[in-house]
Structure 1
Amino acid sequence: MRRYFESREEILVRLATTAWTEWSEDVLRRLDQAGALSTAALAAAFWQYSHPGEALSRLYATDPRLSHAAVDFLPRVTLVVTALSTGLMAETAGGDAATGTVARSRSRD
């Protein structure tokens, strides 16, 4: 069955709508993948920091200047991922990533 359109503009609007939908779904899928990879990369790095080898553990214990290098895994990953997510959400919503606030839309008088 053929479908006839009222105008050329209707055809263009339908094509643009379809292309926009496909594009936005692709972008969201890619962002989800990137977010998962970023979280995994952060977790891997903090796992290494929080579980140093025997020699590094001794060094951390004997040199107070290096004590900051030994971190607790779960609290540190939770803090960093929460801060990153808050900043990204605020930035996406047009807010201030530094404070996590979302900008309000301003009406023009």
Structure 2
Amino acid sequence: MMIFVIAAMLGAVVRYLADYYLPHHGILIVNMIGSCIAGIAVSLALLLELNEVVMQAIIGGFAGSLTTFSTVAVQAAEQRLDKTASAAKIWVLHTGLSVVAGLTGACLTLLFLH
């Protein structure tokens, strides 16, 4: 349980720092990195039968708190109200690239370790 909390805290801090230092692209980057980490972890779990607690800490704790779609929703709404970007474009960009990052992480892990 404690490892999950520590991993979640670390993920949240990294997400905050990315959003602070990279205000226009930080959330997109952490969503992609978190999705890639989750993809890698799932593949490792399948291949190496890793401990369930460790997997929960990595996927649910760190990657789960690193990624954020609530911030994407706020960002999309703000940009739509400011007429600086399309909300649909933002959602497609974040969701699409996150799915691609997750699948890429999973496939590369399976490719290199299998």
TM-score, normalized by the shorter chain, greater than 0.5:
no
TM-score range, shorter chain: 0.3 to 0.5
Higher helix share: 2
Larger C-alpha radius of gyration, 1 or 2? 1
Larger RCO: 1 or 2 (CA < 8 Å, sep 6+): 2
TM-score (norm 1): 0.37
